[in-house]
Amino acid sequence: MPPSSASAAGSFAIGGDLPVHRLGFGAMRLKRRTEDPTPDEREAAYAVLRRAVELGVTLIDTAPLYGASEDLIGEAFPTYPEGVHVVTKVGIVHAGGAFVHRGRPEQIREDCERSLRRLHLDVIPLSQLHDVDPDVPIEESVGGLAELQREGKVRHIGLSNVDVDQLCRAQAVASIASVQNRFSLAQRRSTDVLDVCADEGIAFLPWQPLAHDGLTPEGDRALADAATRLGATTRQVALAWVLGRAPVVVAIPGTGSLDHLEENVAAAGLVLTPEERTALDAALDAA
């Protein structure tokens, strides 16, 4: 089994000066959309967060959309360990059973300041526009983040769920340090965005990087064959494939389970051979 350390995947400096291990932690599943977890639920979340850091994780990704996630992180770490960076998002919340966009600069400011309080931070290392508000030009939303950056409340600006055109439009307003789009073995529609990020040195944070449901039978067989040869799980191979896609990839698999956390972090030391990647890619291309 590969070494259980997130550092085994190597590191990447987001924005050129925010070094993180390339195997991070997504906090979406800690207790999603529940604003008042029970004491037992809180303790379970604290245990997962602290164990992630013990295993070498230095990037924790969260968002106001994820219910109590920001509060749980702030409670778990009254003082953050050296080198650990918590990044969050602005621009969308869950209210009244629906997703509500908040892309106007004044709303982005409210989201940012609320996150600063919840996370016990003076500066958010990376604040990401969670989704493009259909009623607000992306330039206006990113402009709101840029103003917060000038005020010293945000260190770096990122985007999420964008296409290449939206990325380019945002770059005309501010320096973009990261893009967080859905990407995995089974979901590769953002390949063009990833390629731009790789060319320009922009961090690419794939969400749902472990998803491999929906692969063709050929893809399933190639994935299972690679897992058998490597003595790993199919989830670990799927994550290793994503990490091996480009040096700018910083994966953020999420879980509320200690067992799944250990499994995910172990994938940081799993390196697919060129032949294994070729076999997986050929099976994907045949889909």
Structure tokens at 90: 């602005």
The question of whether 66 is a catalytic residue gets the answer yes
DSSP 162-189: --HHHHHHHHTTS-EEEEE-B-SSS--T
pLDDT tens string 114-166: 999 999 999 999 999 999 999 999 999 999 999 999 999 999 999 999 999 99
The catalytic position among 66, 77, 183, 204 is: 66
Domains of the chain: 10-205+247-256 (3.20.20.100)
Show contacts of 224-232: CB within 8 Å, 24+ apart.
225/279, 226/272, 226/276, 226/279, 226/280, 229/276, 230/270, 230/272, 230/276, 231/1, 232/1, 232/2, 232/266, 232/267, 232/270
| Mean confidence (pLDDT) of the chain | 92
Question: What's residue 279's pLDDT?
Answer: 83
pLDDT band at 2 (very low <50, low <70, confident <90, very high): very low
Question: What's residue 163's pLDDT?
Answer: 98
Determine if the pTM surpasses 0.85.
Answer: yes
Structure tokens at 112: 């940012």
> Is 260's pLDDT higher than 50?
yes
